A and B are shown apart, each in its own frame.
Chain A
Amino acid sequence: MKKVKWKVALIIGTVLLAFVFFLPNTPVFKYMPQWWKDNMPNRGIALGLDLKGGVHLVFEVEGDRAVEITLERIADRLKEILKKRKLRADIKVENSRIVVTSKEPEVRQAILDAYPTLDMVPSDKALVFKLNDKEVRRIKDNATEQALETIRNRVDQFGVAEPVIHRQGTNEIVVQLPGYKDPKRAVELIGKTAQLEFRLVDDESPVAAELPAYVMPGEEQDVIKKFKDKIPKDDIILFKRVVNRETGEVKKKPFLLKKEVLLTGDLLSEARVAIDQRFNEPYVSLTFNKTGAKIFEEVTGKYVQKRLAIILDNNVYSAPVIRERIAGGSAQITGSFSMEEAKDLAIVLRAGALPAPVKLLQNITVGPSLGRDSIEAGKKAGIIAILLVTLFMAFYYKLSGLIADFAMLLNVILLLGAMAFLNATLTMPGIAGIVLAVGMAVDSNVLMFERMREELRAGKTPRAAVDSGYDKAFITIVDSHVTTLITAAVLFQFGTGPIKGFAVTLSLGVAINLFTALVGTKTVFDIINSRREVKKLSI
């Protein structure tokens, strides 16, 4: 009898705890006193993006590009080093290799001394170097880490509540923006490399005059191909997007630029939106830090009367003529932006460039109404499932069936409480998991009841039938539950977002089911049996 009291206390205790944890998910929580909200569990079950609505993006950081960029940087440095040592050499970057042609025998050792991370690749014509595997891995890993940091900065400044940003695997970044509806804008903001560069326009080369004034979008590659062999070795062709203010027609204007980058966006200290008074059009105003301002002053002083192109991610935005040396370090990017575009551009420039381009792998966007519909449908299905199962059990097993129903309700309450305790995320498949748990919750009881019926048929007293029914069914129940737990574990391991949610509810449901079946119903039977000798079991 004492044991029974303990069990009753245990059940009541766990139910109360479950209510306390689940309370934040109910409307009642609003009316609780402040001390309760502050000190008692206040987070409850979180809703997954599929129920709350929002944007789920997965980006891949193009690590190979990061390696390439590093190689280009090394090649530039090597040119300077060899020049200083008066060693003649021609240095190119090709297919992730640095290719050096030189007649001087010391060049090889000079390069290896300067960059010990370079490995020689056998080749009979030129000296060919590549980065060693360890360094390549380090660069890729670094690129992902840096990209994560930059994206976090951008999203923070963007102002979405409770964003989730994390790394997945070696080179993927997951961004979740709950409640946000516009995936296009988010992708633009996060996926932009935002590499800001200042380069000189090469107006001196005769090729510059040969370039067509405008081409249609899509024809850029043709122009590049056509002039590939004509343009000077140190030049490149980039395009500016030109929008006709009246017709909205888009054209591309080619520019012949010097390859050398005079100044980059890492030296910015501030970027913000301002309004151009003439056209009432927003533009982004840039301020350089001390180093940047110094370089900018030098550059503008050196190239007066030449055109300086402002380039973002290989698109020319403007190419004003330098009238005079500019001190103070400020510049501006114009380019018929909408207010929204200008604002986002300022954010990405402030947050800094991505170390390598990122590619969108996955975009799942759920509107808020779908989420609400799903929750409503889930609730309805859940309530109907509970009713159907309850009625069936009461009809089939009479009073004992009601006891099983009690256990099932206990199961649902504890399941919700446990999920709230773990701050688990509820997803649509998770709701399905709860509803199925209702059906499976009575399984253990069915097992025991059928066993009890057998014992009764064999002529045992009700009390003995209950006891041996429990004992004999116990092993079967454990075996069958463990197998479900194995599959739930696999689901958790393999699943992404929503499926993980399902695995969590399924495994919690199974574990709690063990408790409610073995402690819950047994206690009720014990209480009934302890009062008086039961003559007939209602089963």
Chain B
Amino acid sequence: MIEIVKKTNIDFMGFRKIAFLISGILMALGIIGIIQVANGTANLGIDFAGGTAVMLKFEKPVTLQQVRAVLESKGVKDFELQDFPTVNKVLVKIKKKEKKLGAISDRIISSLKEGFKDNKITVDSTMEIGPKVGSKLRRDAMWAIVAATIGILIYIAWRFQFRFSVGATIATFHDVLAVLGIFNITGREINLVLVSALLTIAGYSLTDTVVVFDRIRENLRFISKETLEAVFNRSINEVLSRTLITSITTLLAALALFLFGGAVIHDFALAMILGITVGTYSSIFVASPIVLMWKGKGPLIKKK
């Protein structure tokens, strides 16, 4: 039998002060991220901000300086560039609220085709989003996250107890905020794809949390001599190897996506990798301590 972790006896609950400090920082980052998304100072994707994005594929390698020089000489303003050097692709983004769509992407494409006459350019994709759509999508995304959380809260409260559902919900929020915060602070783009990654992370992190809770519930029913804290620690120790291994297998899949899935899915995979890691941590160090500390009415899970 190969075992990643042998039988352990770690005092997880004892770490809760340090854990809360770390989590507090992560969540603060996330809240900063939400504020920046709301007031528009975050690096929003075209789908949320409105504007134009054109992905161009060059036959021969180009540098961003060359592209920038050509666009500036043709009078294109306020653009951002991002390059994908391994595939000779360049993304040109303009987050400008244009009333009439269409003119800008044409101008970008024709300017570059003129400026790089000996380097054949093919248009991989163009995306033009009106400002109204962007703000609607942003609002929808917020609601989606809230709706998912409420759904989960209700389900856990029904299957376990309200205190558990508080722990699970805070842990889930924690994970979503942490990934959003890390993306925001590192200047990565916040777009629709990230939101779907965040929702997936919410679901996944919950899976981890539920497994831990399940064992706590089971042990609370059968073990009555130990203190609550001891039962919590014992339960987490018992499911520790399981928690780690399921994370590893999903991490392997996400890693394959990150390395080989192509440009479109790159950030999605990164968010998943972060989310799986944070989610595993939070089910142990965030969700369970909160259930332990939450002063609910009556005993924690009735004994059979």
Contact = CB atoms under 8 A, between A and B. Distances in A.
Interface in B220-256: 238-239, 241-242, 245-246, 248-256
Contact of B125 (A364, A378, A450): A364
A454 interface: yes
A361 B133 contact: yes
Interface stretch (B9-17, B26-34, B146-154, B286-294): B146-154
A432 B268 contact: yes
B264 A374 contact: yes
Given A389-B249, A439-B251, A483-B206, A369 B143 contact: no
Interface string A439-461: 11011001100100110000000
B129 A482 contact: no
A384 B260 contact: yes
A483 B203 contact: yes
A107 interface: no
Contacts of A486: 148, 151-152, 155, 203
B211 A447 contact: yes
A499 B152 CA distance: 20
B277 interface: no
Contacts of B152: 483, 486-487
B296 interface: no
Q: Which of A58, A378, A481 has the most CB of B within 10 A?
A: A378
Contact of A443 (B101, B126, B196, B207): B207
A224 to B, nearest CB: 19
B138 to A, nearest CB: 12
Contact of A480 (B101, B106, B211, B249): B211
B82 interface: no
B248 A392 contact: yes
Interface stretch (A257-265, A321-329, A490-498): A490-498
Nearest to A480: B207
A447 B147 contact: no
A450 B5 CA distance: 12
B95 interface: no
Contacts of B248: 392
B260 A360 contact: no
Contacts of A382: 256
A395 B143 contact: no
Interface string B133-163: 1000100110110011001100110010000
A330 interface: no
A380 interface: yes
A484 B206 contact: yes
Interface string A367-390: 101100110111011101100110
Interface in B258-276: 259-262, 264-265, 268-269, 272
Contacts of B196: 429, 491, 495, 499, 502-503
Interface string A492-521: 011110110011001000000000000000
B102 interface: yes
Interface string A63-91: 00000000000000000000000000000
Contacts of B122: 367, 369
B262 A374 contact: yes
Interface residues of A, number: 73
B247 to A, nearest CB: 9
B102 A396 contact: no
B182 interface: no
Interface in B192-211: 192-193, 195-196, 199-200, 202-204, 206-207, 210-211
Interface in B104-127: 105-106, 122-127
B130 interface: yes
B200 A360 contact: no
Interface in A380-430: 380-382, 384-385, 388-389, 392-393, 395-396, 428-429
Given A388-B252, A480-B206, A491-B199, A363 B102 contact: yes
A395 B106 CA distance: 54
A202 interface: no
Contacts of B18: none
Contact of A428 (B156, B253, B260, B264): B264
A388 B126 CA distance: 35
A111 interface: no
Given A365-B126, A388-B255, A396-B245, A377 B262 contact: yes
A393 B4 CA distance: 13
Given A389-B253, A493-B144, A381 B261 contact: yes
B257 interface: yes
A521 B100 CA distance: 57
B128 interface: yes
A385 B140 contact: no
A232 B94 CA distance: 45
Nearest to A438: B253
B57 interface: yes
Nearest to A379: B260
B200 A506 contact: yes
Contacts of B203: 483-484, 486-488, 506
Given A374-B262, A453-B1, A476-B214, A369 B57 contact: yes
A487 B202 contact: yes
Interface in B39-71: 55, 57
Given A362-B133, A396-B245, A483-B203, A490 B210 contact: no
Contact of B128 (A362, A431, A442): A362
A377 B260 contact: yes
A28 B206 CA distance: 41
Contacts of A345: none
A432 B270 CA distance: 12
A374 B238 CA distance: 42
Contacts of A388: 252-253, 255-256
Nearest to A366: B125
A106 interface: no
Contact of B254 (A378, A439, A446, A494): A439
Contacts of B199: 487, 490-491
16 contacts: A183-B126, A365-B127, A367-B57, A369-B57, A370-B55, A381-B265, A385-B257, A429-B196, A432-B261, A432-B268, A435-B256, A436-B272, A439-B249, A494-B140, A494-B141, A502-B196
Interface of B: 1-2, 4, 55, 57, 87, 100-102, 105-106, 122-130, 132-133, 137, 140-141, 143-144, 147-148, 151-152, 155-156, 159, 192-193, 195-196, 199-200, 202-204, 206-207, 210-211, 214, 238-239, 241-242, 245-246, 248-257, 259-262, 264-265, 268-269, 272
Given A381-B260, A483-B206, A496-B192, 15 more contacts: A183-B126, A187-B102, A360-B128, A366-B124, A366-B125, A378-B261, A382-B256, A429-B193, A432-B269, A475-B214, A476-B214, A479-B159, A488-B203, A489-B151, A499-B192
Interface of A: 50, 58, 60, 183-184, 187, 359-367, 369-370, 373-374, 376-378, 380-382, 384-385, 388-389, 392-393, 395-396, 428-429, 431-432, 435-436, 438-440, 442-443, 446-447, 450, 453-454, 475-476, 479-484, 486-491, 493-496, 498-499, 502-503, 506, 539
